[in-house]
Structure 1
């Protein structure tokens, strides 16, 4: 049986209550991460495959354990190419370099402004380059979320369709090759889901707040973990510079009990299937409605959403377009609610080609049009927790009980964090100690090797010096002979000159007498 490790905080079959999530983050701070992770599990889950979650740990010291226990490491990522993820990216780079098994990155993207200045570069360029190189040593290609990220990697020196391929976000492929979005007949009685983040624009929040004045049957679906803490325990308040964003339980969304926070995907899917319409500025807040057939519109305000909306044909409007919209009817007149259907087959086939290129076994090998999956049967047999009620909707007795539970869990959570950091430091120190011992052994070996080399060099030098001394002695002998020959030649030359002079003088006398 093949053993696969997936970067995720939980498996789709794990059952965690609200109290469990309050105690320990299993979503990576954003429960939108559950969406694309669920898709990876569903696509790879087979009876002959054992799949585990890595707990979202990027600890390089776990490399030995991973090598011993797994045959493959699958790493789905979101917008990991960003400044506040640099250290984690470095950790993954070191971890991947130490691994001896294949490592497949099934999606990663760049976080940047709507119009990113790629030519200017980013503070994390070197970290991204090192990460990509490490992954390519363990796999054939990296999957990136969109063309903006592809252009970024090209600028860093990598080759498109060789080193990386645009595959979009795997969450869009959760249920297969086809999307079917329902027709929309929006009325004031329609149920709507609204979504946003603390960094959404003022304009987006104002539009949503205005919309729910008319459409009273609404639910706000946040995704950040601190918003779950706010809903579950009543605080602490969250930070946001956006005017009108719900930062405390005093906000209308909480006071009216209209907040939903999902700790598992099956419950999220089931809830959104029953909603008539979804709108807002959260990517997966609208991807999830898309894949279950609920009409939706995304507000696109950064490069991350822009490239994914473009690749997947997600129904969306830009901030400039929203600025000129006075009502939801104006927005609906600008968009095609079924645009994602038109590119799904092409994108899905490209995604499977990417998996095949990297040698990943998946449930669509024999039939790309497959509708069901082995994971579906397991999930259907589980009674998953629904979104907990906001604390603002509880009666006084239940509210006090919730506060008591939250207080105890908060203390336990702090203890857990402390133990985690202590254990991490111990692990790092143990690794440093081991590394130091290894380095000393390598250094000793290196020194011994150099000693041998130096000894050979010294022997050669002695031989060379000896040969040099012989050469000097030979040169001296030759110089002595040369001097001797020169002296002999000089004497002979003088004698020959004198003889010639005598002969000439004798000849001159004879001529004179004659």
Structure 2
């Protein structure tokens, strides 16, 4: 039995309470992380492979343990080549340099404005170089999300086709090469799943809000950690710089009980199967719909989204196309919602080729690929449904949520306080040892100095006596 360590906060088969997921950040800040982790688990978990989440821990001191207990380290990444992830890149580089097992990066991208000139470079070029070199010492090739990232690594001196190759986003391969998207028949009674990013331009946010105003059977699926907490206990508040985004639970999305937050990948995918259309500015909000077989309209606002949309032939519009008060009905008849189907098989086969080049086994080498081990395990687990907002609960249910959350929060704080106290104690003990050592060192130095003086005097006297004897 082989054991793979994977960069993820939670396995698809783990059952965790929402308060535990929030307080321990088991989603890595964004629920979208669960989708491409789910795909990798599903593809690589054979009858002879166990996959273990690393809980997003990065510590070079773990190298010996990782080398001893695991056969490979799988690293799925999103837009990790960005300013805010530089410190983690450095930590990973130090860790990878101490590993002796394969390190496979399955998907990584650069975050940049949509018209950024790659040849102008980035402030983190050197850190990316070091990271990639460390990975290539432990694997044959790195998988990048799109051509923009491929061009960036080529600019840094790495060879496309040898050191790196475009594989897109692993989440698109959750169910293999077959992708069948149902026809879109949009009516006023259609069910629409909305997703949005607060970082989007104002006219994009207004476009998404307009969809909710015109199609009453909508659901908003947030992805940020703060929104997770806001949905669960209601105490979070996003900065109120726009009237076209739900900043608090007082927003109509929450008041109308139209918010649903995913707690696991499978329930999210199953939810999207019953939706008629997905619209929004979140990659995985729309990719989840696509792999569920639901038509999806992605609004592209930066380079990381553009390269993935182009590689997977996702149905999308650029944010500038929404200027001038455009409505969704202006695009419906002109877009091909079956477009992703046309490149799925080719992209999937290239992904499997990449996996094999890096020496990894996968379910498609076996007859059980249509009902793989992950599916078998999930079918024996009662997974929680999508989380409803606190607004929709009875007073008793609200009380239960708050009690669970605050109890766990206190326990975690108490544990951290105890750990900090023990750490402070160890630090103090170490400082005392250093002081004692310093005193001993000073004492020894003084003794040595005294002995040196005595030895010098003795030597001087001996020489004087010798000189007198020689004269005699």
Indicate the TM-score class for this superposition, using the shorter chain for normalisation. Answer: 0.7 to 0.9
Question: What is the CA-CA distance between 1:119 and the residue it aligns to?
Answer: 1.9
Cα deviation code 1:236-284 (max 9, x no counterpart): 2123644421111111111111111112111111111111111000000
Q: How many Å separate the matches in 2 of 1:418 and 1:95?
A: 28
Question: What is the CA-CA distance between 1:123 and the residue it aligns to?
Answer: 1.3
What are the equivalent positions in structure 2 for 1:202-221 lying under 5 Å apart?
A: 202-221=202-221
The answer to whether structure 1 residue 44 and structure 2 residue 15 are counterparts is: no
Matched positions, count: 430
- Flag structure 2 segments of 5+ consecutive residues without an equivalent: 430-472
Q: Equivalent residue for 1:228?
A: 228
Q: Equivalent residue for 1:497?
A: none
- Change in 2 beyond 3 A, CA 1:36/1:131: same
Question: What is the CA-CA distance between 1:19 and the residue it aligns to?
Answer: 2.5
Question: What is the CA-CA distance between 1:420 and the residue it aligns to?
Answer: 7.1
Question: What is the CA-CA distance between 1:117 and the residue it aligns to?
Answer: 2.3
Q: Equivalent residue for 1:265?
A: 265
Q: How many Å separate the matches in 2 of 1:423 and 1:372?
A: 48
Q: How many Å separate the matches in 2 of 1:231 and 1:59?
A: 32
- Change in 2 beyond 3 A, CA 1:322/1:142: same
Q: How many Å separate the matches in 1 of 2:258 and 2:417?
A: 35
Q: How many Å separate the matches in 1 of 2:178 and 2:104?
A: 25
The answer to whether structure 1 residue 281 and structure 2 residue 281 are counterparts is: yes
Q: How many Å separate the matches in 2 of 1:315 and 1:284?
A: 13
After superposition, the CA RMSD in angstroms is 2.3
Q: SS at the partner of 1:235?
A: coil
What are the equivalent positions in structure 2 for 1:169-208 lying under 5 Å apart?
A: 169-208=169-208
Q: SS at the partner of 2:194?
A: strand
Please identify runs of 4+ aligned residues in structure 1 that moved more than 6 A: 419-430
Greater mean alpha carbon deviation, residues 240-249 or residues 59-68: 240-249
Q: How many Å separate the matches in 1 of 2:426 and 2:298?
A: 44
Cα deviation code 1:43-71 (max 9, x no counterpart): 11111112211111111111110011011
Q: Equivalent residue for 1:17?
A: 17
What are the equivalent positions in structure 2 for 1:88-167 lying under 5 Å apart?
A: 88-167=88-167
8 Å contact kept, 2:180–2:341:
yes
Structure 1 length-normalised TM: 0.80
Q: Equivalent residue for 1:446?
A: none
- Flag structure 1 segments of 5+ consecutive residues without an equivalent: 431-514
Q: How many Å separate the matches in 2 of 1:171 and 1:426?
A: 46
Question: What is the CA-CA distance between 1:340 and the residue it aligns to?
Answer: 0.2
8 Å contact kept, 1:183–1:295:
yes
- Change in 2 beyond 3 A, CA 1:86/1:362: same
Cα deviation code 1:151-197 (max 9, x no counterpart): 11011111000000000000000000111000011111111100012
Q: Equivalent residue for 1:74?
A: 74
8 Å contact kept, 1:272–1:292:
yes
Q: Equivalent residue for 2:54?
A: 54
Q: Equivalent residue for 2:382?
A: 383
Q: How many Å separate the matches in 2 of 1:427 and 1:359?
A: 43
What are the equivalent positions in structure 2 for 1:255-334 lying under 5 Å apart?
A: 255-324=255-324, 326-334=326-334
Question: What is the CA-CA distance between 1:381 and the residue it aligns to?
Answer: 1.2
Q: How many Å separate the matches in 2 of 1:128 and 1:427?
A: 36
Greater mean alpha carbon deviation, residues 293-302 or residues 327-336: 327-336
8 Å contact kept, 1:104–1:358:
yes
8 Å contact kept, 1:76–1:106:
yes
- Change in 2 beyond 3 A, CA 1:151/1:241: farther
- Change in 2 beyond 3 A, CA 1:420/1:295: farther
8 Å contact kept, 1:201–1:242:
no
Q: How many Å separate the matches in 2 of 1:262 and 1:20?
A: 14
- Change in 2 beyond 3 A, CA 1:419/1:66: farther
- Change in 2 beyond 3 A, CA 1:422/1:206: farther
8 Å contact kept, 2:263–2:387:
no
- Change in 2 beyond 3 A, CA 1:426/1:173: farther
